[in-house]
Amino acid sequence: MRPSIIVKNAAPPAPPPGPPFSWDAIARELSGLPGGALNIAHEAVDRHAAGPRADHVALTWPDRAGGGKSLTYAELKRQTNRFANVLTTLGIVRGDRLFVLCGRSPELYIGVLGALKAGVIVCPLFSAFGPDPVRMRLELGRGNVVLTTASLYRRKLQKSAASLPDLRHVLLAAEPDGETGVPGTLDLDALMAQASDEFAVVPTGPDDPSFLHFTSGTTGTPKGALHVHGAALMHYATGRFALDLHPDDIFWCTADPGWVTGTSYGIVTPLLHGVTSIVDDADFDAERWYRILQEQGVSVWYTAPTAIRMLMKAGPELARKYRFPRLRFIASVGEPLNPEAVWWGQDNLGLPIHDNWWQTETGGIMIANTIGMDIKPGSMGKPLPGVEACIVSRVEGGGVRIVDTPDTDGELALRAGWPSMFRAYLNQDERYRKCFAGDLYLSGDLARRDADGYFWFIGRADDVIKSAGHLVGPFEVESALMEHPAVAEAGVIGKPDPVLGEMIKAFVALKKDYAPTEALRLELLGHARKRLGAAIAPKEIAFAESLPRTRSGKIMRRLLKARELGLPEGDTSTLEAM
Ligand code: ATP
Ligand code: MG
């Protein structure tokens, strides 16, 4: 067994100079706009373009041949100004909505930031969504303009475009050898060429809407969460406290901008810190990822448990072919990070992986293992400065009670008022209101806090299993299975059972070089029983080639369950193609 804590040898970094933490102090580090206005794109781009970092590379798209494309802060300012002017010329005004349906091309980044400058609300979509999820989101979000490419337009939007009453323009970004002159669309390059590269940023207020993000759809139909420009404070603060960004860092966030991590931390946060951010526009490939880490000299890497598990699956030999001398901090979000994965980082990349927790609704990282903290593998860390988290239990008849006793299971709640908090679920006011009890936001995740203040994820309230009087979080069972050398991934569900209430069943994907034999199945059942005890160990284990996941990489336990029980699969718009 591994030790239960990784004690950091390095002395904790000195606290940043200046006054103690307050949101006002953070706001003073940004420049703001006259009259108390705040605009994310001004802070992320123009603030640096006007200063000594103007010629520093903001975004870089490495290609396989060792070349690639880069944009400095000054260039990004000019390009985003052009895009803001394009929108304005088309009659798109403050409060209108731009939907982005693109691969991770420069146009996506320019479009998102340019629209924010114009006060236009941005809704990024996964480019891999099919036509129905695209139409549904555009309809719900009343999109006025879409930025896409000819091939994506043809496949995903053309059929429904005419039936979307709010949709006024479709802008096509050029593709290599792509089609031009598609009827009913506008050529972005041509419009950009005519547009001025000067633009007066719209003076949005901190409470004005900035992004519309749909949730991952892990537990049901995705919800549209509306965010505001004031979130810039949270992104800036968490860039420092959770990701330890410093001016010379090369930062790589592997998330797609189609979900909140890919915009908050793949676009906004690194730019707020004036660092260089790597964009990789291709699908996961273990070898290419290691090469990017090595060749681009990535120093801070933000990724997800599913990616780490896939690297683990690819085997340690591959990792050892590469060297990462500049890599100094690795963080992960999106799902519980199994202790085994934290150790794998330590063993194979020379650094433990720092788990952190947040949601589309929170807009930014809330709980994290920060650089100076000792790590308890399996824990998501402690609340960041400016975040107040607690464990609550629901009280009969409504309301909640804060649970002060350490190590008690309950729902994870946050004191409302952090700057990046979502302000609405689109068209679902009642559902939004139900997320709050007084000034506490209820996350829907179950967790516990230990006596040292570390938070431990148990499971989503929807996924927790009640078996023979025990409340079992799938994460605990999955982590125990992952300790076995054959297991690459595990997904655990509760299956109705007349005796137990729910019976624990595990679906297991194996690492390469392991075969799904009956002997291995029995061995895994025995391993889990030894680790967890009979009450919590799975009674059934089934092998799977891979597990159903959302496009943001989360295991969809509700689908495992629906398939097991022969029930309807519900909304599968975010399901990754398998
Ligand atoms: P939906 O709300 O549509 O079902 P979703 O909750 O997966 O989808 P996101 O907002 O992308 O959509 O994900 C947030 C959720 O992801 C959290 O509520 C939590 O359940 C899970 N999560 C994120 N980070 C962690 C983490 N570090 N440890 C455990 N769970 C995490
Ligand atoms: Mg959710």
Instruction: For 203-256, give the DSSP string.
Output: ---TTSEEEEEE---SSSS--EEEEETTHHHHHHHHHHHTT---TT-EEEE-S-
How remote is the CA of residue 108 from the centroid of ligand 2, in Å? Answer: 25
Please list the residue range(s) of the chain that carry CATH number 3.40.50.12780.
Answer: 34-56+67-229, 232-460
Give the three-class secondary structure for 45.
helix
Residue 446 Cα to ligand 1 midpoint, Å, equals 11
Take atom 15 of ligand 1 and give the residue whose Cα is closest: 359
| Reported CATH class of domain 465-565 | alpha beta
Residue nearest to atom 29 of ligand 1 (CA): 336
Specify the ligand 1 atom closest to the Cα of 225: 10
Tell how far the Cα of 470 is from the centroid of ligand 1, in angstroms: 23
> What long-range pairs does 290-293 form, CB within 8 A, spacing at least 24?
290/318, 290/319, 290/321, 290/322, 291/322, 292/62, 292/252, 293/252, 293/322, 293/324, 293/327
- CA-nearest of 195, 228, 175, 202 to 34 is 202
Question: Rounded CA gap, 123 and 146, in Å?
Answer: 9
Cα–Cα distance for residue pair 84/27, rounded to 1 Å: 25
Ligand 1: which residue has its CA nearest to atom 11? 216
**C-alpha 517: how far from its chain's center?**
36
**CA–CA distance, 101 with 53 (Å, rounded to integer):** 30
DSSP-H helix ranges across 90-168? 106-117, 131-141, 150-156, 158-161
Model-level pTM? 0.94
State which of 359, 426, 576 you would mutate to test the pocket of ligand 1, scoring each by most atoms of that ligand within 8 A of its C-beta.
359
Which residue among 554, 561, 573, 575 is best mutated to probe the pocket of ligand 1, counting the most ligand atoms within 8 A of its Cβ? 554
Pocket of ligand 1 (CB under 6 A): 215-220, 222-223, 259, 333-337, 355-357, 359-360, 380, 443, 445, 457, 460, 552, 554
Cβ neighbors of 201 (< 8 A, separation 6 or more) are 33, 39, 41, 42, 46, 84, 117
Per-residue burial over 324-359, b = 16 or more CB atoms within 10 Å of its CB, e = otherwise: beebbbbbbbbbbbbbbbbbbbbebbeebbbbbbbb
Q: Which atom of ligand 1 is nearest to the CA of 475?
A: 29
Quick check: helix, strand or coil at residue 573? coil
- Give, using CA atoms, the residue closest to atom 5 of ligand 1: 216
Distance 260 CA to ligand 1 centre (A): 11
DSSP 396: T
- Residue 428 Cα to ligand 2 midpoint, Å, equals 14
Query: Which ligand sits nearest to residue 549's alpha carbon?
Result: 1
What is the rounded CA–CA span in Å between residue 465 and residue 532? 15
Give the ligand at the shortest distance from the Cα of 219.
1
475 token code pair: 């994460």
Cα-to-centroid distance, 217 and ligand 2 (Å): 7
Residue in 267, 271, 119, 273 with CA at minimum distance from that of residue 200: 119
Instruction: Note the pLDDT of residue 470.
Output: 81
Q: How many Å lie between the centroid of ligand 2 and the Cα of residue 165?
A: 29
**Which residue, judged by its Cα, is nearest atom 23 of ligand 1?**
334
Atom of ligand 1 nearest to the CA of 222: 3
The residues of the chain scoring below 50 in pLDDT are: none
pLDDT of residue 533: 87
The closest ligand to the CA of 264 turns out to be 1
Nearest CA to ligand 1 atom 28: 336
Beta-carbon-side half-sphere exposure of residue 432 (alpha carbons within 13 Å): 16
Structure tokens at 353: 């992986």
Correct CATH for 34-56+67-229 of 3.30.499.10, 3.40.50.12780, 3.40.50.720, 3.40.470.10: 3.40.50.12780
- Burial (0-12, 13-18, 19+ Cβ within 10 Å), 362: buried
Instruction: Return the ligand number nearest the Cα of 359.
Output: 1
> How far is residue 268's CA from residue 43's CA, in Å, rounded to a whole number?
9
Q: What pLDDT is recorded for position 16?
A: 60
- Residue at 249: amino acid letter: D
- Enumerate the CATH 3.30.300.30 domain ranges in the chain, comma separated: 465-565
Q: For residues 286 and 15, give the distance between their C-alpha atoms in angstroms, rounded to a whole number.
A: 36
CB atoms within 10 A of CB 521: 15
First to last CA, the chain: 35
Domain topology for 232-460:
Rossmann fold (3.40.50)
Q: How far is the CA of 444 from the centre of ligand 2 (A)?
A: 7
Q: Which atom of ligand 1 is nearest to the CA of 220?
A: 4
Tell how far the Cα of 215 is from the centroid of ligand 2, in angstroms: 6
Closest ligand to C-alpha of residue 366 is 1
Neighbours of ion ligand 2 (CB under 5 A): 215
Predicted local confidence at residue 465, as pLDDT: 92
